[in-house]
Every structure is written in structure tokens, then in C-alpha cells.
């Protein structure tokens, strides 16, 4: 095969640079043909032939012998939108790239032997293209939700670093006083599976697990920029606490129990009291606690008041940005899950015939946690996120290319929080004003020229502040006039999709953003919102009963009209499998037309205001 052919002779092994030097030596008469050829490692006859061409006016110095030449030049292959589309999370498959190559060759009049029936370049061309560009490789991409791709934008990230810098300047924080906490779930059935050695050719390779689905235990993990780890907290799905649940757990581990084993406002308050003691926080020696926008963090007035009294500055990450900004997500959770899988496999191998239950989770988690919780991991995680050492230029423009698909200016993000640490009792910023972000686009095909509808996202981040979305047509960009192609460039055939901005029809009361949770302004707004909820609950009994019954009837109607609505429904906006109807602690609302369910935060519905009729944005369009 052509792709596996190995050259047997040394013909054409000279470089163009050496040929130029040899020709210059001959033309300047500083050396003869034999001496110039020996000095620069070029055959004498080849040098004579090229000098004769130069004297006749020909300037080609091609060192590749034979008639087989690449279809596209080096500059043209560099223009293929492989890297650019991958950075925007619209990576090209091998089939799409081959179709793109065929269309480029046809429209630019290139001589090629591609398949005219299937209208696609061959496997040999693809193999040669990959060899000519060793910086490219075929990778299996990791699923990234539309909310995270579009939420991680330059405005939101710059605002976070601006707030972080102001907190550093005001409190003169050292790395041992900068903490990050986050929750993760561990199960009796490990989700991550390591590769094993098996017989070649087998269609299925199995690995023993305790069950099809296991019980999930929530773990609260916290460390600081100096590499110190706070003993973890385990939250078990149990009504009563049993001491056997903590057998052989990591030293200092504490435990809480509730019906579902999730983090709640009460459980987080219990953990926070332990955190104040562990960190030694005080008004004279404050500490910084970085956390995500989960409802137990951002809408927990008891924790915020306790933090202000004990000198804990709580800074919330921007929504949908923790996968790049939160040290625990960036540097710790992946190693922990890998070590936990190894520990589960070792336990099952050492205890044949038994299964893992919640009583063994502490022991298995201890093995994984001790291996993952190293000082080097914590320090590098903070450094990777640009939190410590502080680096507000940690991300380049290429890191924000995925968010450029929406092309939506977020002006209110900066104007509302210009003074953020003036009263810490604290930095201030209003609660919600970020612009809506649409769901991701459908997979792009090179032959598509018409407008393509936007598909719904496949997964979503585990955050409370989801953004409302709207479907918009795709706006194609103009051709780049600086292209090396004569008639059609890759951007003409495969344009980079962007979404046109549409007027927002519904105000979203729950959109989150980065904010210092312990600021006076945020605390006041949270208290006012809580007071509004209590006022609604204390309304007249007749009116309250009427609304409750009407909501129940509408819920039943929506369930009956939906296509056999599952008990565990997904939100139609964020489609987050980690926050389904049964798993989520948030409020839900159903569309009266299609019967689909959504988080109230995603739908832009305020929990304190009970709507008589709700219609989703897709049906409303």
C-alpha cells in the first residue's frame, strides 16, 4: 500500500536550504561544482542541473523525486480548520475532514484521484495528511455541556480574577489561608474503569462490580493552596447514623446522614462550623473560601452570617466555569476517581463472593483518598487555575473560542459590580444579570450551506444557576480574503457557526455570576428574597389553597399530556443527568403545551412567584 511504502534509496535526501547555499557558492564563484557539492552534501550532477535551471530563470528547488505530489500545498493544508474547529468544540471527524478535502479539491480545480462517486478523499490521503502534520492526532473527545462551553467566557473569567485580586489586596492572604471546597459522589459501583489485558478479538470484556446501580455517598473535600487537606465529610443516605459506616475511614473523617445522602443547607452548615475551627479563621486573620454556585452555598443565609462573624470570605465561581477555575475539579477529582476504581477492584478481588455496600465505602474511599491527597496535587491545582500564585492572564484567547459561538456581549456583567470589595463586611454585586446562552449546534457537515437548526445540549454542569436558552438561526461568516486557495477556502465550505443575538422575552431571576457571598449587598438581597418567600407563604389560606390545587392540576395535566413522562425526567434546557427530577433538590415547572419539565432557574421562573400558566421558550417561539 502507498501509505506503508518505505523509500529504499537516498535520492532527494538533501535539504532545500543546503541547495540554496551550494547554488550561491557556485554562482558567486567562491567554489566549483565539486567543492560546493561536497561542502553541502548534495550530488554534483543534481547541483549542476539546478544551477542550469536558475540561469534559465526557473526557481523551483523541489527535492522530492517522482510524480506523486500532495493535492494541497503546505500553506493550504495549514488553513484547514482542524485546530480551530476543535478549540470551538466542533472537532472534525476523519470522514468530515475527507469530505472537506474533496470539496476543496473540486472547487479549486486541484488534480486529485479522490472518489468521485462517494465524493470523499481516500484513507491514503488522510494517513499522509496526519504524517505531514505530526502535531495532530485522533482523540476521543470528552463531552462538554453547552452551558459550560458558552459560560466559560472572557468577561466572566476576568470578573472572577478581578474580584479575587481585590480580596488578595485587601486581606493580604497567604496560601495557607486560601481554601477550596467541593462535593463529589462515590458509589458502591465504580463509574471509572481502568483498561485491562484481555484476549485479542473478543467482542466484550467484562469487569466485576457490586451491582448494576449502587447507592451514592456524597463527600465534602477541602484543601488549601499550601497543600493542607481538611478531613473529609461523608454524607450517607441513611436516617440514623451508625458508627460502623466510618470503620477504617481516613483519619479525622466526620459523617452526616440524611434521606438521600446529598448536601443540604443544614449539612453544609454543620461542615462549615468544622471548617472555621480547622482553618483558624477569625476577624483579625480572615481566610478565603472558594466554592461553586450550588444552592446550599449561595442561598444559605445561616452560613453567610456565620462566615461574616468568623472572618471567612466566601467567593463564588462564575456559573459553568468550575471545570477550568476550581482547583478540586481541575487537579484532584480525576485522580481520586481513578484510585477509587482501583480500590474497588482490589476489594472485590480480596473478598470473593461479597459485594460493596455503604459499610465498606469508608474503607475503600480511605485507600483512594490517601493516594490522591498529596501536597503536590493541591499546590499544582491552585497553580493550574491561576489562583495561587495569582495569574489573571492564566487563560489565552484560544481558551475562550468555544464561547465565541454565541457571540453575545455580556455588558451588564461588568457594570453592576465595579466596586466589589468596598465593604467586606464586604464586596458587593447584584445577584443575577448574565445574558442567556443558547444550546450547542448540531454536528457540522462540510456540504451544508443552508441554515441549520440548533439541537439541544446533551449534558449539563452540576450547578444551580442554569441559564435560560433560546433557539436561533446560524449566522455564517464571510470568506477570508487572505486565503491561499484560489476559488473556495475551508471557511467558505465549512464556516465557523455563530448564533445571532435575540431579544430576551423573559426575565430570569436566578441567573448566577461570580460574587463575594459574604458581601453586605449580597446578604441584604438574599434576606429580601427570603422575606418575599415567607410573605407569599403567609398569604390568605383560601388563596393559598387555590393556587396549590391549581398547580397540582396543571402538574397532572402536563404529566398526562407528555409522552409517557418518566418519573426521573430531564430538564429540557440543561439536560443535566446529574440533576434530574428525582436527584435534584431544585424546584421544577412543566410546560403546558409540550408537557416537558425544566428547572425553574433554567426556565426563568422565580420560585417566589407562582405562575398560572407556563410555556417553555421552545413552544413560545
Give per-residue pLDDT as tens, 43-70: 999 899 989 988 888 766 766 666 677 8
Q: What's the angle, vertex CA 203, arms to CA 202 and CA 208, rounded to 5?
A: 85
Strand partners, 221: 182
Task: Quickly list H helices, 373-410.
Answer: 375-384
Q: Give start-end residues of each CATH 1.10.10.60 domain in the chain.
A: 2-56
Residue 609 has pLDDT above 50, yes or no: no
Average pLDDT, the chain: 79
Q: What's the angle, vertex CA 368, arms to CA 363 and CA 370, rounded to 5?
A: 95
**Could you report the per-residue pLDDT of 537-571, keeping only the tens digit for each?**
776 454 444 444 444 454 454 444 444 444 578 88
Question: Helix, strand, or coil here: 282?
Answer: coil
Which of 296, 338, 292 lies closest to 148, judged by CA? Answer: 292
CA dihedral 400, 414, 169, 271 (to 10 degrees): -80
Distance CA 84, CA 79 (A): 10
- The domain defined by 539-620 carries CATH number 3.30.40.10: yes
CB 559 within 8 A of CB 565: yes
CB 310 within 8 A of CB 282: yes
Average pLDDT score over residue span 606-614:
53
Distance CA 56, CA 50 (A): 10
Average pLDDT score over residue span 587-613:
71
**Could you report the per-residue pLDDT of 357-368, keeping only the tens digit for each?**
999 999 999 999
Look up residue 586 and give its DSSP letter.
S
Residue 442 has pLDDT above 50, yes or no: no
pLDDT band at residue 316 under the 50/70/90 scheme? very high
CB 233 within 8 A of CB 220: yes
| Res 596: pLDDT | 84
Q: Which helix (H) or strand (E) holds 53?
A: helix 44-56
Sign of CA dihedral 341, 344, 348, 354: negative
Q: Which helix (H) or strand (E) holds 187?
A: strand 178-187
109 backbone φψ class: left, alpha, beta (φ>0; ψ -120 to 50): left
Residue 440 has pLDDT above 50, yes or no: no
| Res 608: pLDDT | 46
Strand partners, 220: 183, 233
Q: Which of 260-264, 486-490, 613-617 has the highest mean pLDDT?
A: 260-264
Which of 255, 146, 182, 265 lies closest to 585, judged by CA? Answer: 265
**Is the entire prediction scored with pTM above 0.85?**
no
**Could you report the per-residue pLDDT of 223-280, keeping only the tens digit for each?**
999 999 999 999 999 989 999 999 999 999 999 999 889 999 999 999 999 999 999 9
Q: Give start-end residues of each CATH 3.30.420.10 domain in the chain.
A: 146-193+210-415
Strand partners, 254: 233
CB 121 within 8 A of CB 102: yes
Better-predicted residue by pLDDT, 477 or 606? 606
| Res 96: pLDDT | 93
Residue 585 has pLDDT above 90, yes or no: no
| Res 113: pLDDT | 92
Q: In angstroms, what CA-CA distances link 329 with 154, 212, 266, 325? A: 20, 26, 24, 8
Secondary-structure class of domain 2-56 per CATH? mainly alpha
| Phi, psi values for residue 312, rounded to 5° | -105, 120
Half-sphere exposure (Cβ direction) of 84: Cα atoms closer than 13 Å: 12
pLDDT band at residue 466 under the 50/70/90 scheme? very low
Distance CA 403, CA 408 (A): 9
pLDDT band at residue 417 under the 50/70/90 scheme? very low
Residue 200 has pLDDT above 50, yes or no: yes
Which of 143, 129, 145, 139 lies closest to 93, judged by CA? Answer: 139
Rg (CA), the chain: 31
Q: What separation, in Å, do the N-terminal and C-terminal C-alpha atoms of the chain show?
A: 55
pLDDT band at residue 301 under the 50/70/90 scheme? very high
Residue 501 has pLDDT above 80, yes or no: no
CB 330 within 8 A of CB 474: no
Least confident of 80-84, 383-387, 474-478, 500-504: 474-478
CB 520 within 8 A of CB 421: no
> Which of the listed CATH numbers 3.20.20.70, 3.90.1150.10, 3.30.420.10, 3.40.50.720 matches domain 146-193+210-415?
3.30.420.10
CB 127 within 8 A of CB 98: no
Distance CA 178, CA 49 (A): 70
Neighbouring CB atoms inside 10 A of 417's CB total 22
Which of 10, 37, 12, 7 lies closest to 22, judged by CA? Answer: 37
Average pLDDT score over residue span 392-400:
91
Which grid coordinates are listed for 326? 476550581
Residue 416 has pLDDT above 70, yes or no: no
Amino acid at each position: 500500500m502507498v501509505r506503508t511504502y518505505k523509500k529504499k534509496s537516498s535520492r532527494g535526501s538533501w535539504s532545500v536550504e543546503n541547495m540554496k547555499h551550494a547554488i550561491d557558492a557556485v554562482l558567486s564563484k567562491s567554489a566549483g561544482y565539486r567543492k560546493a557539492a561536497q561542502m553541502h552534501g548534495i550530488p554534483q550532477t543534481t547541483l549542476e542541473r539546478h544551477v542550469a535551471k536558475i540561469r534559465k530563470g526557473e526557481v523551483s528547488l523541489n527535492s522530492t523525486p517522482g510524480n506523486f505530489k500532495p493535492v494541497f500545498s503546505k500553506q493550504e493544508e495549514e488553513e484547514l480548520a482542524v485546530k480551530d474547529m476543535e478549540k470551538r468544540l466542533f472537532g472534525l471527524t476523519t470522514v468530515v475532514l475527507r469530505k472537506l478535502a474533496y470539496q476543496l479539491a473540486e472547487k479549486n480545480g486541484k488534480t486529485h484521484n479522490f472518489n468521485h462517486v462517494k465524493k470523499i478523499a481516500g484513507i491514503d490521503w488522510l494517513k499522509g495528511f496526519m504524517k505531514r502534520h505530526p502535531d495532530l492526532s485522533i482523540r476521543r473527545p470528552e463531552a462538554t455541556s453547552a452551558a459550560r462551553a458558552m459560560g466559560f467566557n472572557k468577561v466572566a473569567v476576568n470578573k472572577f480574577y478581578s474580584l479575587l485580586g481585590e480580596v488578595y489586596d485587601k486581606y493580604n492572604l497567604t496560601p495557607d489561608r486560601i481554601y477550596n471546597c467541593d462535593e463529589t459522589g462515590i458509589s458502591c459501583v465504580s463509574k471509572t474503569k481502568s483498561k485491562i489485558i484481555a484476549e485479542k478479538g473478543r467482542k466484550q470484556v467484562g469487569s466485576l462490580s457490586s451491582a448494576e446501580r449502587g447507592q451514592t455517598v456524597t463527600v465534602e473535600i477541602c484543601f488549601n493552596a499550601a497543600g493542607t487537606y481538611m478531613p473529609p465529610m461523608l454524607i450517607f443516605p441513611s436516617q440514623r447514623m451508625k458508627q460502623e459506616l466510618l470503620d477504617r475511614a481516613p483519619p479525622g473523617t466526620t459523617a452526616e446522614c440524611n434521606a438521600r445522602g446529598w448536601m443540604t443547607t443544614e449539612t453544609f452548615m454543620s461542615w462549615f462550623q468544622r471548617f472555621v475551627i480547622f482553618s483558624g479563621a477569625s476577624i483579625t486573620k480572615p481566610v478565603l473560601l472558594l466554592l461553586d454556585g450550588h444552592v446550599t452555598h449561595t442561598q444559605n443565609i445561616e452560613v453567610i452570617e456565620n462566615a461574616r462573624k468568623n472572618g471567612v470570605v466566601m467567593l463564588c465561581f462564575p456559573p459553568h466555569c468550575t471545570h477550568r477555575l476550581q482547583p478540586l475539579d481541575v487537579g484532584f477529582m480525576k485522580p481520586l476517581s481513578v484510585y477509587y476504581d482501583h480500590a474497588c477492584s482490589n476489594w472485590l478481588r480480596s473478598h470473593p463472593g461479597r459485594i460493596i455496600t455503604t459499610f465498606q465505602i469508608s474503607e475503600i474511599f480511605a485507600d483512594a483518598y490517601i493516594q490522591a491527597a498529596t501536597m503536590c496535587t493541591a499546590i499544582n491545582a491552585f497553580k493550574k487555575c491561576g489562583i495561587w500564585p495569582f495569574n489573571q492572564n492564566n487563560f489565552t484567547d484560544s481558551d475562550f473560542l468555544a464561547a465565541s459561538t454565541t457571540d453575545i456581549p455580556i455588558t451588564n456583567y461588568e457594570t453592576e459590580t465595579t466596586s466589589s470589595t468596598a465593604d467586606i463586611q464586604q464586596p458587593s454585586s447584584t445577584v443575577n444579570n448574565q445574558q442567556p446562552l443558547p444550546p450547542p449546534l448540531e454536528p457540522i457537515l462540510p456540504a451544508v450551506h443552508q441554515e441549520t437548526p440548533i439541537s439541544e445540549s446533551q449534558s449539563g454542569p452540576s450547578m444551580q444557576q442554569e441559564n435560560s436558552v433560546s433557539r436561533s438561526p446560524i449566522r455564517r461568516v464571510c470568506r477570508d480574503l487572505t486565503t491561499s486557495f484560489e476559488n473556495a477556502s475551508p471557511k467558505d465550505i465549512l464556516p465557523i457557526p455563530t448564533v445571532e443575538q435575540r431579544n430576551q422575552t423573559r426575565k430570569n431571576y436566578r441567573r448566577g455570576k461570580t460574587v463575594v457571598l459574604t458581601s453586605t449587598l449580597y446578604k441584604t438581597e438574599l434576606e429580601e428574597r427570603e422575606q418575599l418567600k415567607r410573605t407569599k407563604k403567609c398569604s390568605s389560606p383560601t388563596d393559598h389553597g387555590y393556587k396549590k390545587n391549581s398547580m397540582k392540576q396543571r402538574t397532572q395535566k402536563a404529566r398526562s399530556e407528555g409522552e409517557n413522562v418518566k418519573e426521573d425526567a430531564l430538564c429540557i434546557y440543561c439536560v443535566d443527568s446529574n440533576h434530574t427530577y428525582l436527584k435534584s433538590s431544585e424546584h421544577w415547572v412543566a410546560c403546558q403545551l409540550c408537557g416537558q419539565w425544566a428547572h425553574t432557574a433554567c426556565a426563568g421562573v422565580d420560585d417566589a412567584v407562582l405562575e398560572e400558566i407556563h410555556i417553555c421558550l421552545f413552544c413560545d417561539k
